[in-house]
Structure 1
Amino acid sequence: MTDVLGTSVEIPTPDGVADAYLAHPDDGSPHPAVLFFMDAFGLRPHLRSMADRLASAGYTVLVPNVFYRHGRAPVVELPEFINPAERPEIIQSLGPAARTLTPEGAMRDAAACLDWLAASPLTADGPAGAGPVGVTGYCMGAGLALRTAGTYPERVAAAAGFHGAYLATDAPDSPHLLADRITAELYFGHADHDSTNPAERIDQLERALTAGGVRHRSEVYAGAHHGFTQADTAMYGAEATDRHWAALLDLLNRTL
């Protein structure tokens, strides 16, 4: 593990300026880029610590506030420890921010982030050219990771999603419908206690990925709850989180 430098940055997008967190090894050298999509609670100290840990493994990690249209992070006031069962108003307060993010807007933002990473001297092959990028996402961010891999297949070499929400639905713009465009290798770590991603939807995603010829691995983490990687929430699971780190780093180390 290496020392890490973390800074706040701003990403110009077609719809405004997104605030973001950038973490990278503090060695002056370029490293493979990873675009890190937040969960619904957003850019906060815990996500910064996750980005720092990933950067310490040798990556330049960008974590955009995907709710920037609604305001800079944090877009709602959050307690140090988040327990939605005791504080349901937290989830309710995030509704307006979530509704500002359409699939089309999210993919405009993803392109802006990929462009920013490609232009950065901190990323491998930047600024002369865009090297392969890894993407990881959590909760709603897992869907954004899947959608980014399908929208920009020429730019994404690997994508991972953990305790993903609504990855496969009956909607005409469901993320899983992009499977036949994906060229990246994918990994999904599903929670087996997750109302946003029940077994039948996991199967639906699996069928789409298989039919699309996508290189992928999909695992259900026994005993894990939706949000299991988030140590500042009541859904956290230490064993499942450790498993997630092993799977994520294995994927990135092999593909970037």
Structure 2
Amino acid sequence: MTKREIEIRTGDGLAKAHLFKGTGTAGIILYMDAFGVRPAMDEIAARLAGEGYTVLVPDLFYRNAPYGPFDAKTAFNHDETRAQLVGLIGGTTQEMTQRDTAAFLGALDEAGATGPIGTVGYCMGGGRAMNAAATYPDRVVAAASFHGGNLASDAPDSPHRLVASIKGRVYVGVAGVDRSFPPEQSAKLAQALREAEVDHVIENYVGMSHGWAVSDNGVFDERGAERHWKRLATFFAETLSGTV
């Protein structure tokens, strides 16, 4: 497994990304949480690359670079950094990331990941991982979200509105208590996936808080993170098998 820092040409500029080269032809796009591309995201990517996948971790906030870096434990506790994060999140729409994903897929092709693609996202990345499967259904065969927020909100671009286009499988790991994805949204998402006949699992991680799976988060839980990893590794082994 090797790591490279690359730049990806999109319709709106150059997005920096970290590329972890695996041994097979299956690829994975890892959609970051709100704190950006950093060692904690790289840890997850490197572990997946160790399973044979080529993993791309793109900077979704590239339109507003440079920014940060942010301390995931404290950034939302301070007015200045909270305002920066809210601006970055609000200024990077689902539609932007859907368009950018075409370029991300192209980068994986260039890296030799010409087989099936999986996506995984954390926090704000969860919905983007799902929308990638809906927007590029002939390429993305598996989408996973962990503590994804607003997956079935009233917003016009809420991910649950696009699930009918998904052809692959979906896994959603939910924090036990998460204001960004309350029980009513979970029920709405489950209904949308079932009505669309999407093969899916929504799993509740009881006792875990939003952000539990990411190592530099203040609510990181080692046991919960390892459970998340086992689920993710199994999910991709089942959906991307034969290509690593």
TM-score by length of 2: 0.94
1:34 aligns with 2:25: no
**Residue 21 of structure 1 corresponds to which residue in structure 2?**
18
Provide, for residues 23-79 of structure 1, a one-character-per-residue CA deviation record: whole Å limited to 9, x for no partner.
Answer: 123xxx44310000000001011111111111111110000000000004xx21323
Correspondent of 2:122 among 123, 138, 154? 138
Aligned to 1:55: 49
Contact 1:135 1:159 in 2 (8 A): yes
CA distance in 2, matches of 1:88, 1:49: 29
Give the secondary structure class of the aligned counterpart of 1:134.
strand
3-state SS, counterpart of residue 54 of structure 1 = helix
- How much does 1:250 deviate? 0.7
* CA distance, structure 1, for counterparts of residue 177 and residue 219 of structure 2: 10
Q: Work out whether 1:111 is the aligned partner of 2:95.
A: no
Counterpart CA distance in 1 for 2:215 and 2:106 is 31
Question: Which structure is higher in RCO with an 8 Å CA cutoff and minimum separation 6?
Answer: 2
Contact 2:76 2:82 in 1 (8 A): no
8 A contact 2:160–2:192 mirrored in 1? yes
Aligned to 2:5: 8
Q: Is residue 2:216 matched to residue 1:232?
A: yes
Q: Is the 8 A contact 2:21 2:111 kept in 1?
A: no
Query: How far did 1:82 drift?
Result: 1.7
> In 2, distance between residues paired with 1:85 and 1:93?
9
Deviation at 1:105, TM superposition (A): 1.2
Instruction: Look up the match of 2:139.
Output: 155
| C-alpha distance 187-16 of structure 1, shift in aligned 2 (>3 A) | same
What letter is aligned with 1:164?
Answer: G
What do residues 90-140 of structure 1 show as CA deviations (whole Å, max 9, x unaligned)? 33221222232122211111111012212322x2xx3xxxx2100000000
Match of 1:77?
69
Q: Identical aligned pairs, as a percentage? A: 40
1:18, 1:65 within 8 Å by CA — same for their partners in 2? yes
Structure 2 residue identity aligned to 1:120: A
- Corresponding residue for residue 193 of structure 2: 209
Q: Secondary structure at the match of 1:170?
A: coil
Distance in 2, matches of 1:242 and 1:144, equals 23
Aligned length: 240
Q: CA deviation at 1:84?
A: 4.7
The 4+ residue runs of structure 1 with deviation greater than 6 A are none
Q: How does 1:214-225 map onto structure 2 within 5 Å?
A: 214-225=198-209
Alignment-derived partner of residue 244 in structure 1:
228
Gap runs ≥5 in structure 1: none
Note the aligned Cα RMSD (angstroms).
1.5
Query: Which residue in the other structure is 1:171 paired with?
Result: 155
